[in-house]
Structure 1
Amino acid sequence: MTRPLPPLNALRAFEAAGRHLSFTKAAAELNVTPAAIGHQVKALEEILGVPLFHRLTRALRLTEAGQVALPTLGQGLDKMAQGVEQMRAHSDNGVLTISVSPAFGAMWLVPRLEHFRSRHPDIEIRIDGTDRLVDLARGDADVALRYGPGGYTGMRTDWLFSQRNTAVCSPALLNGKYPLRKPDDLRHHALLHIDWKDAEASWRMWLLAAGLHDIDPTRGPRFSMENMAVQAALDGQGVALVGDILVADELAAGRLVRPFDQSLSIPLTFSYYLVTTEDSAGQPKVSAFRTWLLDEAHERVGSRS
């Protein structure tokens, strides 16, 4: 369908001027002179045959036509900008945008990215650390790393690994006034909680599985992100209940320890997945990252301590 439109620059000038009610502020936003904004708006009014502003001595005021059109035009320009970003996101321009939760990114992905960069120095990486849902089909990111049940409809999904929820703490807690040797000793130590953990991953479930019914499962500080609870454990502030693979590096280095038998670790239902669209999966940068990530994940799972 043919869409007869005035020049885009004129529309942008009017929208910015109408939003700011100032040619000067619109000019600063669009990096032109106030006179240029004034000329563009005047040209638009002549094309449309209707005034858009009342030009007062020291102010601008929108006419009724300008007031009616401004919101719709602003939304249209936003949609155009979004469309341009989508086109850029689907181009194989060497920049790989990875959507990942801040905790998983900090604890597992970022420490390993140097391995990927050494293998693919031509691929620039952008990490979007967020827990919000992103629309890969719309171009919000090239790939997403997600924790969940899998089955992401319409997406190409690769299983990375599952985990066991395990109690970890600083080695310092194994000694001291109340040495942490057996689960019952937890009554003398703070329990570090993670807000988003569901029932199966909670201290309540862990204590019940350990046969401890007289320890308050709700006491202790709470954290919104797993890496903050892990940092508190590293600092000796208490005992955290976290996925074993996320803290594998800290355990291997001895910065964290498992104070109890591994049989007390609880398998978690959810797993970590790599998610891409079918369209983007064939892009060289996405394919390279997928190959590396699957190798890295399976190698780490195979060496789980």
Structure 2
Amino acid sequence: MSRHLPPLTSLRQFEAAARYESFSKAAKELGQTASAVSHAIDALEKHLGIVLFKREGRGVALTAAGQTFVAYVRDGLTMIASGAERLPGRPTDRHVVLSVVPTFAQRFLVPRIPGFRKQHPGIRLSIDTSHRLITFPHDTADLSIRFGRGVWPSAKSELLFRESLIPVASPSYLATITKAGVINWSLATFICVSLLEHDWGTWRRAVGMEAHVGDELHFDTAHLAYDAAVAGMGIALGRLPMVLPELESGALVSAMQPVLDIESGYWLVGAEDRETRPSVEAFRRWLLQEAESYCAMVEHPIAQLRVGGHHEARL
């Protein structure tokens, strides 16, 4: 295998030069001369038998082949760095990298992090909030928290909790579209979450509502959608238990039944064939326990919402 590898010392120079589109800037980052970087790239191109950069005056630009190759180089360097960090006994072995969907991070995880740090003061957490689907084992994340049905390639999933849908709005906004206890949905603005646009369709079908009624306002996270509903901008399709704080405070109220159970939920996801380090296992056990306690805590208020009073609707 080693006979077919390009000169390994040139790969870092190539990646840096591709990132900056400059040999001199890459040299500055690497503590080398621009001439050394240029010679390394020449050697790499000679080994591959293909031109990776177009030389343009004082700058350089990747060729089509260079653009293809740099993606593989970055993946390879990332995996090497990740493997080095995960070597047992290294200080970085106590570092846990998480990829978390934003709403879960804001509403569930971050408020509980101080408790984890108190229990495990020697473990360092890095949290990346993104809707991007982590691909194990190529990404650097140790664990991912994702929303869905729990099935992802090359991954093992453990359910944290499922969710239920309920329309919510501020009391003042609801009053503007309600007459004699009946909501006129044709006057409503439906607050939508871009990645969950199917939610309103699911709920409308469940209650027999027309597919296209009222206006729409779109946000990219449920957290922002709830903020918009609190501000009186429309009716959001709340997800229980995440929207409970606003319901319990009175900032939002249930607009209409039913509370609709769905199959999707939040899952703790990891590589199916990766050996779990003690620090990662500690976080996994802690999060599963937190989720179990949370489910027990919200069970009663959710049950009350299922049988609570609500407005009628003009569909």
For Structure 1 versus Structure 2, the TM-score category normalised by the shorter chain is: 0.7 to 0.9
Distance 2:274 2:10 in 1: 36
Secondary structure at 2:77 match in 1: helix
Q: Shift in Å at residue 219 of structure 1? A: 1.6
Give the equivalent residue in structure 2 for 1:193: 192
Say whether residues 1:100 and 2:94 are aligned partners. Answer: no
Structure 1 residues 30 and 183: CA distance shift in structure 2, 3 A: farther
Secondary structure at 2:83 match in 1: helix
Q: Deviations over 1:77-97 (max 9, x none)?
A: 545423322314534622211
Superposition pairs for residues 143-222 of structure 1, below 5 Å? 143-152=143-152, 154-173=154-173, 175=175, 177-178=176-177, 182=181, 184-197=183-196, 199=198, 201-202=199-200, 204-210=201-207, 212-213=209-210, 216-217=212-213, 219-222=215-218
Structure 1 residues 218 and 190: CA distance shift in structure 2, 3 A: closer
Distance 1:302 1:119 in 2: 21
Say whether residues 1:85 and 2:81 are aligned partners. Answer: yes
Q: Deviations over 1:190-218 (max 9, x none)?
A: 2212233254x21x4434544555x9535
Secondary structure at 1:287 match in 2: helix
Which amino acid letter does the alignment assign opposite residue 300 of structure 1?
Y
Conserved in 1, the CA contact under 8 Å of 2:169 and 2:235?
A: yes
Distance 2:19 2:272 in 1: 40
Q: Shift in Å at residue 128 of structure 1? A: 1.5
Say whether residues 1:277 and 2:271 are aligned partners. Answer: yes
Q: Shift in Å at residue 140 of structure 1? A: 2.7
Q: Unaligned 5+ residue runs, structure 1?
A: 53-57, 62-66
Conserved in 1, the CA contact under 8 Å of 2:177 and 2:187?
A: yes
Give the equivalent residue in structure 2 for 1:55: none
Q: Deviations over 1:63-113 (max 9, x none)?
A: xxxx9x978985675454233223145346222111122233223322332
Which amino acid letter does the alignment assign opposite residue 115 of structure 1?
G
Which amino acid letter does the alignment assign opposite residue 173 of structure 1?
Y
Give the equivalent residue in structure 2 for 1:124: 124
Q: Unaligned 5+ residue runs, structure 2?
A: 52-56, 302-315
Equivalent residue for 2:234, pick from 238, 258, 274: 238
Structure 1 residues 131 and 89: CA distance shift in structure 2, 3 A: farther
Conserved in 1, the CA contact under 8 Å of 2:13 and 2:41?
A: no
Q: Shift in Å at residue 122 of structure 1? A: 1.8
Say whether residues 1:292 and 2:275 are aligned partners. Answer: no
Conserved in 2, the CA contact under 8 Å of 1:280 and 1:286?
A: no
Conserved in 1, the CA contact under 8 Å of 2:93 and 2:277?
A: no
Which amino acid letter does the alignment assign opposite residue 298 of structure 1?
E
Q: Shift in Å at residue 144 of structure 1? A: 0.9
Percent identity, aligned pairs only?
Answer: 30
Residue range with higher mean Cα deviation, 275-284 or 158-167: 275-284
Residue range with higher mean Cα deviation, 106-115 or 293-302: 106-115
Superposition pairs for residues 261-276 of structure 1, below 5 Å? 263-276=257-270
Structure 1 residues 283 and 237: CA distance shift in structure 2, 3 A: same
Bigger-Rg structure (1/2): 1
Residue range with higher mean Cα deviation, 162-171 or 247-256: 247-256
Distance 1:216 1:74 in 2: 46
Which amino acid letter does the alignment assign opposite residue 105 of structure 2?
G
Structure 1 residues 274 and 94: CA distance shift in structure 2, 3 A: same
Q: How big is the alpha-carbon RMSD for the aligned residues of Structure 1 and Structure 2?
A: 4.1
Q: Deviations over 1:170-191 (max 9, x none)?
A: 243355x555885624444322
Structure 1 residues 182 and 212: CA distance shift in structure 2, 3 A: farther
